[in-house]
Amino acid sequence: MILAERAARLEAEAVAASAKAEAADAKAAEALISYLKLEIEKLRRQIYGSRSERKARLLEQMELELEELEATATEDELAAERAAAKTQTVQSFQRKRPSRKPFPEHLPRERVVIAAPQSCPCCGSSKLSKLGEDITETLEVVPRQWKVIQTVREKFSCRDCETITQPPAPFHVTPRGFAGPNLLAMILFEKFGQHQPLNRQSERYAREGIDLSLSTLADQVGACAVALQPLYRLIEHHVLSAERLHGDDTTVPILAKGQTVKGHIWTYVRDDRPFGGRAPPAALYYASRDRRQEHPTRHLQSFSGILQADAYSGYNELYDASRAQGPITSALCWAHARRQFFELADIAANARRDKNAAAISPIALEAVKRFDALFDIERSINGQSAEERLRMRKEQSAPPLTALEAWLREQRARLSNSSAVAKPIDYMLRRWDRFARFIDDGRICLTNNAAERALRGFALGRKSWLFAGSERGADRAATMATLIMTAKLNDVDPQAWLADVLARIASTPQGQLNELLPWDWNRTPVQSAA
């Protein structure tokens, strides 16, 4: 009776565990479907236009939910297997997983052959012949390996004239250099691309048995920044010679006399791909201690073209007709304007606020719908020539744009100055000529998202490194961010590019430095002298 009761209990536990695993798998499948739908929408937005704020937040929530549900489903599946193993009557639950992609062909394969039996396990005969083999592939990672390269320069003495001959010393990337270009590229990319401060890198290297102090790493970073300065100047010239730029800035705390000041990182992005331009994309960064208008005036001193930015008053001097280089043409960002209306019409956010939610503004909701109609047209013409974009805008975008202006003016006449939606309406109507400029120039984009994407790394990174150690440190970060982001915009691996450039830049003539720029770069393997 005890054994029967125990068996019944184990069977019940196995059935319950299997049901729990099946329920968890169903939830994970449902979450996966929702996640994939949002992921598809995310990719469409990345290709054709800016993402919806609501869908962006939903995607982040679904990613977190999917992560937790997948982990829970796996735990429950293993628990069901263990419970079913204790009984003979209950079959373990098996999850239906999506088919896994094969491993890349370029990865090296290491064969581990399990020894075959020497004799037949049935009759004991040793007359065995091979019929074939089954291969199971497992992805594995090899821990990082450190090595020391010894460069030997032999000395020879002439028997006739007693002259001593020796090959010249190899070039070191940095003065008093002891680090190879690959190591330096890794340090630079970890610090400026992955936002890992040098003290954390030093601790990680120490755990791997390599003693590289913070001061040693900082010395190498400073020397690399100097060595790469010529490439920064070439990228700067390339960006500032564009017909149109995206401009924006973000705050970066800078340490000064025991406290931090609110410094700023400015970016200017050249990206002609939306209007079919063939010039390679590039991003240029500057750092400053404050946000005074003298900084963009100095940055864009030699620029004359179209500047897509927000309505920051510091740019106004650049738009002055009396400017020596000629006025810069201003084009404002519709994403900035739309965001102000969207915050007043965010139904999902109001649902989360429950009782504290403010009333949804019908005017703001209607404005967002009208904005989205213009964005839909822009997605359909993205990547076409400026002439074709202009023609399509005249045909498709001009009528809804005219209707939008008339509607905004009509609604504003009915609103009091204290109305919440009056502020975003005034923001647009006071600058309507600069918002509507895209309708007369096919090179102008509807948004300034290119610059906002370029600043995203700093917005995320400052949570990791908290502040720049000095104004020079902020300048150095701007220099390295220019190189790394430009490489990314041209679909080049920044770390591999930095390693090759650091190995070649000293031996490259000044007139051929253009060959090292990301869009003209042809990787050559770094040869170590032997």
DSSP codes of every residue in 228-239: THHHHHHHHHHH
DSSP letter, residue 170:
P
- Mean pLDDT rounded to a whole number for the chain: 82
224's tokens:
């690399």
In this structure, the answer to whether residues 423 and 354 fall within a common structural domain is yes
Print the domain residue range for 72. 2-85
Let me know if residue 102 belongs to a domain: no
What does DSSP say about strands 306-309 and 244-256: parallel, antiparallel, or unpaired? parallel
Q: Is residue 329 over pLDDT 60?
A: yes
7 dihedral zone (left: phi>0; alpha: psi -120 to 50; beta):
alpha
At residue 334, what is the residue type?
A: W
Tell me which of 29-38, 81-90, 308-317, 495-504 is least confident.
29-38
**How far apart are the C-alpha atoms of 67 and 63, rounded to whole Å?**
6
The number of distinct structural domains making up the chain is 3
How much is the pTM?
0.75
- The answer to whether position 233 is within a domain reads no
Better-predicted residue by pLDDT, 43 or 51: 43
Which value, to the nearest 10 degrees, does the dihedral of the CA atoms of residues 222, 225, 226, 227 take?
120
Binned at pLDDT 50, 70 and 90, residue 324 comes out as confident
Structural domain includes residue 209: yes
In a domain, 474, yes or no: no
* Together in a domain, 262 and 399: yes
Same domain, 171 and 278: no
Q: Is residue 136 part of a domain?
A: no
The pairing of strands 156-157 and 164-165 is antiparallel
Section 34-56 average pLDDT: 57
What span, in angstroms and rounded, lies between the C-alpha atoms of 381 and 393?
Answer: 9
Q: Are residues 181 and 270 in the same domain?
A: no
- Distance CA(180)–CA(177), nearest Å, equals 8
**Which run of H or of E encompasses 307?**
strand 306-309
294 belongs to a structural domain: yes
Residues 342, 250, single domain; the answer is: yes
> 438 and 526: one domain?
no
Asked whether residue 223 falls in the same domain as residue 341, the answer is no
Pick the last residue of a domain from 453, 478, 503. 453
In a domain, 96, yes or no: no
Q: Are 468 and 474 in contact (CB under 8 A)?
A: yes
Q: Is the pLDDT of residue 442 over 60?
A: yes
377 lies in the same domain as 266 = yes
pLDDT over 60 (residue 47): no
pLDDT, residue 236, reads 95
402 within some domain: yes
Question: Is the same domain home to 188 and 223?
Answer: yes
